[in-house]
Amino acid sequence: MRVGLKLLITALVTLIMLSCAPKHSEIVLADFDGNLITLGEFEKAYAKNAGGVEAAKEDSLQEYQKFLDLYVIYKMKLRDAFVRDYKNDEDLINELNDYKEKVGISYIEEKQIVVPGLKRFYDQRSEEVRVSHVMLKKQPNPEESLEKIEGILDSIKQGASFEDMVIKYSEDNFSKTTGGDIYWFTAGQIVPAFEYAAYETPVGEIYPKIVETKFGYHILKITDKEKRRYKLRAKHILVKVEEVRRNVADALPGEKPLDKITRIREEIVAGADFDSLARKYSDDPGSGAKGGDLGFFERRQMVKPFDEAVFDLEIGELSEIVKSRFGFHIIQLVEVMEYPPYEDELETIREMYKKSRYDYDYDRYVESLKYGFQYKLNDDVIDIISSDKNGITLTPEYRNDSLYSSNKDKVLITLNNDSYNIADLFTYLETQPKYENKELKKSLLTKGVKDYSKNILLSKKALELETTDSEFASLMNDYQNGIYIFKLQEDEIWNRVQIDSAKLRENYNKSKNDFVVKGKVNFSEIYTKEEDSINVYYQKLLDGSTFDTLASTYTERNGFKAKSGLHGLKDADDSELSKRAYSLSNDGDFSEPFEVDGGWAIVKRNNKIAERIKTFEEALPELSSSFQESESKRLEDKYINGLKDFYNPEYNYDELENAYQPEEK
């Protein structure tokens, strides 16, 4: 019983100890005055610094320990910033808000417009849509056209035939004769408003609203949708319908184009080689020479009859005879390229998205902000400001304009409880070069108001983003910590560094030999690849020939013969040549031949500037920089040691062995 009881107690104690053991992420690595740094916090900070968790796992315990030391100092500094109440420092608050606004707008554009827009664009491009439409042009009277097409839509909703409305009213002459059919398309091939409406509407239904595009007003009917065949590779044989054809001589006597293409198709069906017949008969010289191969292409890249036929084929299948404006075709589908994964297609579609969708998505996002912030625009003020015959010209003197001064305080825009007046608008327009020195007549002023509205809406959204987006909140927290650390460095170190002239003079006298003006030498050279040749030139010099004459005649270094071998003024240690020339005793002296640069050379010293010690004034920039660096280091060490003395940090280095290890169950 006693043994059993003892075992039971031991098991219970073990169980209690295990249940009380901290979770992996809660293991304490350091403690400074009750401020704990846990393993979870450390792992997150280290991985961010190392470039990710996988990279962090590869590092050593010594690297973890070094980082922990630095991280504790960083955290003690942030604690000091809290004690100093930096969070209520007006200058720091303004700096942080300015950064939030600027970075927030860029963040919104990327994360809330581009990223979801790209994904939606990619997803839509995986599908093809076939649409018919009724279209009325905007001009000459947009309001009248809009009213008319709204009436047509109401009639269709009440049971009128869509196709009858196309025939009776549509002003798109290209599609009118085919029931309004504009054929298959995928995202990025039609204007965005049209595409969005088409993708949002089920097959067989009418989009319930009028779609406005640059072409006019549209009523859309979705006639079909299917998974997109991304790219096809096909080959064809073309027989032109004109009397004069490249291969007219290949036709049988009296054989017409349709008879010829029929005969060719029958030969293929009977087993003849498609490629050989394409090379022999096709009137398309580009593809004919390649056995009819057209390479890969997308929907709508070929003429419609060809496109319709080839996109209905299975791999290896031979089409019936297809007639297009080019002639008669026989087509065979060779290969189908599958729609690539998102990551593979991203760079391709990013550029397409920027060109075709971004502006539209941007404007739609801004419209959503208008709704969210209860945006109201005072159109009457715009009418007043633009009512003058010439308008206000945005020059530096525009504030003297009576039209501006009498209206500058009038409210232009309200967002929830905030208001923005004409003066705010003009302050913004001043920062935009496209409005500089321009007369702000109604059309341009309206554009300026639109730009300004976007700016204030995005700015307002950016300033509240921290409360709605955890990733952005983390980014702002990092920046806030950064400006706090910068402020501490400024207060404790940089502002306390004082340049002491006497101290600088003392340092100069102690270490003046470290401040040297390098010696320079002006020299010329005779160079040749052959040792025998250099010895001949050297003997000529000894016999009294002038160096410059020999150099201009014999030197083989590219570009130096015309300069009589002159290299000019160089630092003494610039090259082996300058070193040799600098070592010569007198101006005019020349060296013995020496091996250099894969050949042989003789150098002559033209003149020399000897190495010397810099004067105090010359050395002052280096002295000041060195002093500031050492003094900053001294003050930094003093500050950190003060933090350590005050907070008395304690470290549990042994626990670093648990970093990035799986938690035991």
16 pLDDT higher than 80: no
380-395 in b/e form (b: 16+ CB < 10 A) is: ebbeebbeeeebbebe
Helices assigned H by DSSP within 181-315? 192-200, 257-269, 274-281, 285-288, 304-310
Q: At what angle do helices 342-356 and 115-124 cross, to 10 degrees?
A: 100
Q: How many other β-carbons are positioned within 10 Å of the β-carbon of residue 458?
A: 21
As a whole number of angstroms, the distance between CA 462 and CA 243 comes to: 68
Q: Which two tokens stand for residue 447?
A: 């554009």
Average pLDDT over residues 206-224: 96
Q: What is the pLDDT of residue 441?
A: 87
- Domains delineated in the chain: 84-123+342-492 (no CATH), 127-227 (3.10.50.40), 231-337 (3.10.50.40), 516-613 (3.10.50.40)
Q: What is the pLDDT of residue 21?
A: 53
Q: How many other β-carbons are positioned within 10 Å of the β-carbon of residue 624?
A: 14
95 pLDDT higher than 50: yes
As a whole number of angstroms, the distance between CA 280 and CA 287 comes to: 12
Please name the residue that has the structure tokens 């890969």.
296
Q: What is the pLDDT of residue 251?
A: 55
**25: pLDDT confidence band, cut at 50, 70 and 90?**
confident
From the list 106, 39, 130, the residue with the least C-alpha distance to 461 is 106
Q: What is the pLDDT of residue 23?
A: 80
402 residue type, one letter: S
Mean pLDDT for all residues in the chain: 92
In whole angstroms, how far apart are CA 634 and each of 98, 589, 637? 34, 52, 5
DSSP state of 114: I
Task: Give the burial class of 197: count Cβ atoms within 10 A of its Cβ; 0-12 exposed, 13-18 middle, 19 or more buried.
Answer: buried
DSSP state of 333: E
The predicted-structure confidence for 468-500, as pLDDT tens digits, reads as follows 999 999 999 999 999 999 999 999 999 999 888
* Strand partners for 515: none
The predicted-structure confidence for 270-306, as pLDDT tens digits, reads as follows 999 999 999 999 999 999 999 999 999 999 999 999 9
pTM over the 0.75 mark = no
Q: Which two tokens stand for residue 14?
A: 């073990």
Q: What is the pLDDT of residue 12?
A: 42
As a whole number of angstroms, the distance between CA 234 and CA 284 comes to: 14
Q: At what angle do helices 616-647 and 61-83 cross, to 10 degrees?
A: 90
From the list 61, 23, 58, the residue with the least C-alpha distance to 39 is 23
As a whole number of angstroms, the distance between CA 149 and CA 216 comes to: 10
10 pLDDT higher than 50: no
**What is the side-by-side strand order in the sheet with 411-415?**
376-377, 411-415, 418-421
Q: How many other β-carbons are positioned within 10 Å of the β-carbon of residue 12?
A: 10
% of the chain at pLDDT higher than 90: 86
**385: pLDDT confidence band, cut at 50, 70 and 90?**
confident
As a whole number of angstroms, the distance between CA 528 and CA 511 comes to: 44
What sign for the dihedral angle of Cα 20, 26, 28, 33? negative
As a whole number of angstroms, the distance between CA 289 and CA 280 comes to: 9
15 pLDDT higher than 70: no
From the list 149, 160, 295, 141, the residue with the least C-alpha distance to 212 is 149
From the list 243, 292, 244, 286, the residue with the least C-alpha distance to 264 is 292
Q: Are 255 and 263 in contact (CB under 8 A)?
A: yes
**387: pLDDT confidence band, cut at 50, 70 and 90?**
confident
